[in-house]
Structure formats: structure tokens, C-alpha cells
């Protein structure tokens, strides 16, 4: 290992900090030194799963531990992109956006609010969630998904059979309910990395 | 092959939930691969097995779910933790007990949503048992678990000053964040089982 003993956190260049939840594209600036692109070995490239992620500071920072990065990325992709049965993409993205809204991850919320709005074709409802927060009244199916995400995100965890029942009554089958649980749980992972290893910035 | 989520959620092979989970085979496989990468890596490097399970027992304890708390407490014991360390870890779970998520937003329209909460710190005698690395890790982990939106560079600098390398901080952050996922998947699956019963 060539780690120095007195490493310092990074000071991001001058930027504008977003102060509201938004569907706009944001940047993310790291507080710790990502790997240099030139230092990425084939193992790191494999761990990124999508090679273009080598351009991202976030993923090159996580690439410092390639094994957990790769496992995390493959978990993420199946939870959100495996559309064989289960919940439509929009429902999963909504769970991710609601979780991010509650935890307070402006960056994560921006990405997944965009996806939820696009896949669900429901820009107004997604904006309502962003502006009013997780108590926003959408429709029963989306209210049930947001409520489930909130209960799962709270500490102590408040998610119980009543949330499963409400999702079921709203028309979600077992696999769809599992998708919502996975999506909300996964964003409790993603939010913590995004919030604690760097900060969002508005794009010029 | 062991699947920790199945074990903790009590999912029997062939059950309805087992079948549902099999419809997301990559998520299932790599949730376990994530556990393996963090807790049974090819090489522990400078973030020791004992440290990993000490942080895990603390984080699982803060979540208050019996099944995962007991699992990681036992793992900490198996990793060779001294009775003294185990007592301090359980004591810190009680000292750090709180409800979340809370924390602050950037100053502006969201400021009215700021929610005050505990700023956790480790006492002198406990710090003596935990040592500087684990003390810094517990303080960081508490923030990540309960009020992640308060994260800021000084917390990372505390870890660096306590002897954590940048790479080890990435692994530590993944470990705490992964547990935030795993514990919730288990809680979700248990609720599905309870409703079906």
C-alpha cells in the first residue's frame, strides 16, 4: 500500500450548491480523491460494469474497493432494470426518489425523480413529491409505494404487514412488492454514499 | 451456499418468497456477494475483520432489529472480540440510540425541514477500549445511519486523522451503507412473510 498517513479531504472548486429538490441534472463533487483514470486496471474496469463510468468521479472513488463496487453495481442493476414481471420501472424509481427525499439526498432524488417522471409520464406528481415531501398526495398506488419507502427508511424501521397489505390492495403482486422493498432498501445504501463522500452542484 | 438475507429473514427453500427472490437472481446473488466482499474478502487489508464486525454490530444495533443485531453481535464474538470490547459495543448501541432520519439541509427553502437530533460522541473510557480508529468509525457510522444529510468533509478528516486511509474510508462507507440496505431487505421480507401467515 502506498497510502500516505496524513491524507486530506478535497476542497471542491467554487460551485453553486442546489438548495431545493429538483429534476434538473446536477453534478457531484468528491470530498476524497478518486482513482486517476489512468490508474484503473482491468479489474477496476470490470468492477465499474459500465466502462463509461470511468469518467465519473463518484465511480472512480468507489473503484478503490472494486469487489464491493462490482457487487453493489450488479445488485443495483437487477433491482432497477430487470423488468421481467414485478413492478413497472416508474414504481421502482418512485421508491428510490421517495427514499432520497426523506433521507435528504438532493443529488439521488434528482436522478430518480427524472426517471420516475419519464417512465411514469407523471411529471406533476413527481414534482409534487419533490416540493411537498413524502406526505404529498399522489394517487393510491403511488401513495402506498411512498408510504412503504418511508416506513422502510425510518429508524426504527416502521415497515410491517400493513404496508404489504396496502401495496397488495393497490395492485402490486408479491414480486412487485419485493421490487419496491429492494428499491427503497437499495437507496438507503446509495443515499449514504452520495451524501457522505461528496456534494451536489448545479450545472452551469 | 449461505445466503445471509435468507437466513436472517427465515426464507425457506421453495417458499413463495424464495421463488419471488429468484425472479431477481442477480440482485439476490450480488447482495450476498456484497456481504462476502465486505466481511469475507480475499484480503482484509488495513481494515481488519475485527473492526468490520465491530462496526457492523454497532450499526445493526442502532437499527434495533433483533434478527440482524444478534447475527452481527455473534459474528463480532467469533471474530475474536474481547469481552471488554463487546460490552463497549453494546453500550454504544444504547448510547447512540435515536430515531431518524434527521439532520440539516443547505440553507434556503428547505431549512424549515431541518430536524434536530443527537450528535453522538464517544466517552473517554469507551474511547480507551475502542481505540482511535474504531472510535472515529463509530462516530462516522452513527451519522451515516441516523442523519446522513449532515455529512461533511470534517467527519472524513476525523477518519483520516485517526489512521483510516482514503481506500479504507470507501470500504467503511460501503459497509455501513450496505448494512442499511441488508437490514431493510430483511425487515421487508419478514413483513411479507408475516402478512402471508
User: What CATH number should be reported for the domain holding residue A129?
Assistant: 1.20.1290.10
A106 with A67, same domain? no
3-state secondary structure of B28: helix
Residue B80 sits in which domain range? 50-100+111-196
Residue A161 inside a domain? The answer is yes
Q: Which residues of B touch A72 (CB under 8 A)?
A: 30, 34, 174, 178
CA distances (Å), origin A83, targets A77, A93, A96, B17: 11, 12, 16, 18
Angstroms from B77 CA to nearest CA on chain A: 24
Between positions 170 and 199 of A, the ones with CB within 8 A of B are 174-175, 177-179, 181-182, 184-186, 188-193, 195-197
> Residue B109 has which C-alpha cell?
427553502
Q: Determine whether the interchain pair B156/A32 forms a contact, defined as Cβ–Cβ distance below 8 Å.
A: yes
Q: What separation in angstroms does the CA of B189 have from each of A84, A135, A150?
A: 20, 24, 16
Closest partner residue to A185 among B140, B166, B188, by Cβ? B188
| Cβ-contact A186, B24 below 8 angstroms | no
Residue with cell 427472490: B21
Q: How many domains does chain B have?
A: 1
Q: Beta partners for B115?
A: B103
Question: Residue B120 domain-assigned?
Answer: yes
Residues A169, A91 share a domain: yes
Whether residue B62 lies inside any domain: the answer is yes
The residue segments making up the domain with residue A157 are: 87-196
Confirm or reject contact between A39 and chain B (CB < 8 A): no
Residue A60 within a domain: yes
Q: What is the pLDDT of residue B135?
A: 98
Specify if B20 maps to a domain: no
Residue finishing a domain among A36, A61, A78: A78
- B80 within domain boundaries: yes
Instruction: Establish if A155 touches chain B: CB-CB under 8 angstroms.
Output: yes
CA angle, residues A144, A150, A155, in degrees to nearest 5: 145
**Is the same domain home to A56 and A134?**
no
* Residue at which a domain ends, from A44, A60, A78: A78
Q: Which of B64-68, B165-169, B186-190 has the lowest mean pLDDT?
A: B64-68
Does residue A49 lie in a domain region? Answer: yes
Q: Are residues A30 and A102 in the same domain?
A: no
Mean of all residue pLDDT scores within chain B: 97
Contact (CB<8Å) A71/B160: no
Q: What is the CATH number of the domain that holds B96?
A: 1.20.1290.10
Model confidence at B1: pLDDT above 90: no
Decide if A134 is inside a domain.
yes
Give the tens place of pLDDT for each residue, B23-70. 999 999 999 999 999 999 999 999 999 999 999 999 999 999 999 999
**CA atoms A75, A81, A85, A89: torsion sign:** positive
Q: What is the pLDDT of residues B109-145, one digit of tens each?
A: 999 999 999 999 999 999 999 999 999 999 999 999 9
Q: Over chain A (204 residues), what is each successive 10-residue block's mean pLDDT?
A: 69 96 98 97 97 97 98 98 96 98 98 96 97 98 98 97 98 98 98 98 89
CB-CB under 8 Å, B17 with A18: no
The total number of structural domains that make up chain A? 2
B100: helix, coil or strand? Answer: strand
Interface touch B20/A178, C-beta < 8 Å? yes
Q: Are residues A147 and A102 in the same domain?
A: yes
> Is the domain of A113 the same as that of A189?
yes
CB pairs under 8 A between A and B: 229
Q: Does A161 touch chain B (CB under 8 A)?
A: yes
Determine the number of helices (DSSP H) and then strands (DSSP E) in chain B: 9, 0
Cβ contact, residue pair A9, B25, below 8 Å: no
Q: Residue A6 has what pLDDT?
A: 67
**Closest CA of chain B from A189, distance in Å:** 4
Residue A8 placed within a domain = no
Amino acid at each position: 500500500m502506498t497510502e500516505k498517513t496524513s491524507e486530506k479531504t478535497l476542497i471542491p472548486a467554487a460551485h453553486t450548491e442546489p438548495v431545493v429538490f429538483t429534476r434538473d441534472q446536477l453534478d457531484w463533487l468528491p470530498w476524497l480523491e478518486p482513482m486517476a483514470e489512468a490508474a484503473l486496471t482491468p479489474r477496476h474496469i470490470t468492477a465499474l460494469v459500465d466502462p463509461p463510468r470511468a469518467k465519473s468521479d463518484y465511480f472512480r472513488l468507489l473503484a478503490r474497493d472494486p469487489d464491493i463496487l462490482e457487487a453493489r453495481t450488479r445488485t443495483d442493476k437487477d433491482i432497477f432494470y430487470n423488468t421481467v414481471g414485478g413492478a413497472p420501472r416508474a414504481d421502482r424509481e418512485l421508491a428510490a426518489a421517495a427514499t432520497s427525499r426523506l433521507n435528504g439526498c438532493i443529488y439521488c432524488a434528482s436522478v430518480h425523480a427524472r426517471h420516475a417522471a419519464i417512465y411514469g409520464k407523471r411529471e406533476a406528481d413527481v414534482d409534487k413529491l419533490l416540493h411537498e415531501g413524502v406526505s404529498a398526495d399522489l394517487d393510491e398506488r403511488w401513495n402506498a409505494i411512498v408510504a412503504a419507502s418511508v416506513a422502510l427508511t425510518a429508524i426504527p424501521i416502521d415497515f410491517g404487514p400493513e404496508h404489504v397489505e396496502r401495496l397488495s390492495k393497490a395492485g402490486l403482486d408479491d414480486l412487485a412488492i419485493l421490487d419496491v422493498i429492494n428499491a427503497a432498501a437499495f437507496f438507503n445504501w446509495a443515499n449514504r454514499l452520495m451524501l457522505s463522500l461528496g456534494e451536489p452542484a448545479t450545472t452551469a | 451456499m449461505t445466503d445471509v438475507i435468507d437466513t436472517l429473514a427465515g426464507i425457506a427453500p421453495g417458499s413463495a418468497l424464495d421463488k419471488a427472490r429468484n425472479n431477481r437472481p442477480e440482485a439476490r446473488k450480488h447482495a450476498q456477494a456484497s456481504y462476502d466482499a465486505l466481511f469475507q474478502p480475499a484480503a482484509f487489508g488495513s481494515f481488519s475483520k475485527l473492526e468490520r464486525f465491530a462496526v457492523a454490530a454497532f450499526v445493526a444495533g442502532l437499527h434495533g432489529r433483533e434478527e440482524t443485531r444478534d447475527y452481527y453481535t455473534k459474528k463480532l464474538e467469533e471474530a475474536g472480540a474481547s469481552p471488554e470490547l463487546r460490552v463497549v459495543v453494546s453500550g454504544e448501541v444504547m448510547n447512540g440510540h435515536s430515531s431518524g432520519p434527521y439532520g440539516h439541509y443547505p440553507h434556503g427553502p428547505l431549512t424549515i425541514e431541518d430536524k434536530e437530533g443527537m450528535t453522538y460522541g464517544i466517552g473517554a473510557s469507551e474511547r480507551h477500549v475502542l481505540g482511535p480508529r474504531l472510535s472515529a468509525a463509530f462516530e462516522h457510522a452513527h451519522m451515516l445511519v441516523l442523519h446522513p444529510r449532515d455529512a461533511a468533509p470534517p467527519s472524513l478528516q476525523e477518519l483520516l486523522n485517526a489512521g483510516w486511509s482514503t481506500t479504507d474510508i470507501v470500504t467503511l462507507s460501503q459497509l455501513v451503507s450496505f448494512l442499511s440496505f441488508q437490514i431493510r431487505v430483511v425487515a421487508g421480507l419478514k413483513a411479507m412473510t408475516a402478512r402471508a401467515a
